[in-house]
Amino acid sequence: MPIDAPENSGNKKSSKLLFPAGFLWGVATSAYQIEGKNSNADWWSWEQQGKTRESSGNACAYWDFWKKDHELLSELGANSFRLSLEWSRIEPSEGQFSAAAIRDYREILQDLKKRNIKTIVTFWHWTSPIWFAEKYGLHKKESVEKFLRYGEKIMDELGDLIDIVVTINEPMVPLGMGFLTGKFPPGFKNPYRFFRAAKNLAQIHKGLYKSIHAKRNIPVGITYLYNYYFSAGNNILEKIANSAAKWFRVNFFSRKIKGFEDYVGIDYYRLVRMKFDPKNSNYFGFRIEEDKNNVMGWISYPEGIYRVLMEVSKESKLPIYIMENGRPTNAGLEDAERTEFLNSHLAYVGKAIQEGADVRGYLHWSLLDNYEWLEGFRPRFGLVEIDYQTLERKPRKSFYAYKKIIENNGLE
């Protein structure tokens, strides 16, 4: 469905960089990474098998403390919040939907509405119920029907409280990690199953797109992990590897769902530079260059978000939402690195908007420190620090810096 263009606030004056009126400012999260105790999920079993650095356990206990976290959203001044629904909570056994879980999600969404916060809801952020993983899995064609039934249920029970849908978060991550490298569940290294799963996931998205629109006129899309792939110098092999990596992450799936998106959802984090390294088997003889000073080795590259936005604008007429952008650190409350990250990236988002990119919103990853999949709790992504012993929440300086940006609808 078409999304109306926002009015241009038209203020380019002085040294302020203002964003369009009605711009969505918010934060992004995912259920499994914050809720805690999602013991019916395949990822939970994965943790029990020792495949991750740590187990998610209580995570941030958002399931118990969401009221506190929504208070933080209001204090931040966010007008949008991206959260995901945990399929394994909603349908803990096949065909049996949990009325209690649905009621709790209704309360969560209603509370956001009361606060005037737009709800951006992801239907699948990588975790599936154990029954689904054991009996079906994305590589089996029955997965499509099972997934679509879950989608119908969401729309029937919660659809009236949803403003924007992300059907699937970054499909190529669970597909690549789950079916090619074997690092995520179901742990296959099987190209045949990979292609089957990719085909089914694309069909799932298209099915959801149609069934959501049959019930409600809201924007529907997916997110792409869309980092900036770059090769310095003239090494032709590296250039090919970088183009191939970008094609795999973005174009492989976008081509399969062409015409079934109302917006382009971008998750941008870093510069990815593939370097030739014949000993590395993970990426077929290449490795991703690392920043030795970063907790996950990620190279921060603010200009990359501008380049990505301009690239997307050239290729598509659809509105763009930055559905995730953030930095893993081991910061305490001072957190100068995240503040600098926010300012520099948003300056480039503003530049892209001024040059015509139709960006409608920016969601920072993340509100809270959270469970970072294979890496456990070590990388800190939060504007708010979590003390994992007491589960106390403490806003960092970056929280207040972002609050100010939101208040001003832009940068000084």
User: What residue ranges bind ligand BGC (CB under 6 A)?
Assistant: 30, 33, 169-170, 225, 267, 324, 365, 372
Nearest to ligand BGC of 19, 62 (CB atom): 62
Nearest to ligand BGC of 91, 324 (CB atom): 324
The first and second tokens of residue 213, run together, are 């629109």
111 burial (CB, 10 Å; 0-12 / 13-18 / 19+) is: middle
Task: Please state the closest distance from residue 166 (CB atom) to ligand BGC, in A.
Answer: 10
The first and second tokens of residue 336, run together, are 């100068």
Task: Please state the closest distance from residue 15 (CB atom) to ligand BGC, in A.
Answer: 32
Task: Please state the closest distance from residue 29 (CB atom) to ligand BGC, in A.
Answer: 9
Strands (E), 32-110: 80-84
Nearest to ligand BGC of 262, 267 (CB atom): 267
- Report how far residue 71's alpha carbon sits from residue 65's, in angstroms, rounded to the nearest whole number: 10
| Residue 318 falls in which region: left (phi positive, over 0), alpha (psi -120 to 50) or beta | beta
- Report how far residue 95's alpha carbon sits from residue 111's, in angstroms, rounded to the nearest whole number: 28
Nearest to ligand BGC of 319, 379 (CB atom): 379
User: What's the length of the chain?
Assistant: 412
Rounded to 5 degrees, what angle do the CA atoms 351, 355, 359 make?
75
Nearest to ligand BGC of 175, 225 (CB atom): 225
Concatenated DSSP letters of 234-278: S-HHHHHHHHHHHIIIIIHHHHHTTT--SSEEEE---EE-EEE-T
Task: Please state the closest distance from residue 372 (CB atom) to ligand BGC, in A.
Answer: 5
Task: Please state the closest distance from residue 123 (CB atom) to ligand BGC, in A.
Answer: 14
Nearest to ligand BGC of 56, 169 (CB atom): 169
The first and second tokens of residue 252, run together, are 């492989």
Task: Please state the closest distance from residue 173 (CB atom) to ligand BGC, in A.
Answer: 6
- Report how far residue 111's alpha carbon sits from residue 108's, in angstroms, rounded to the nearest whole number: 5
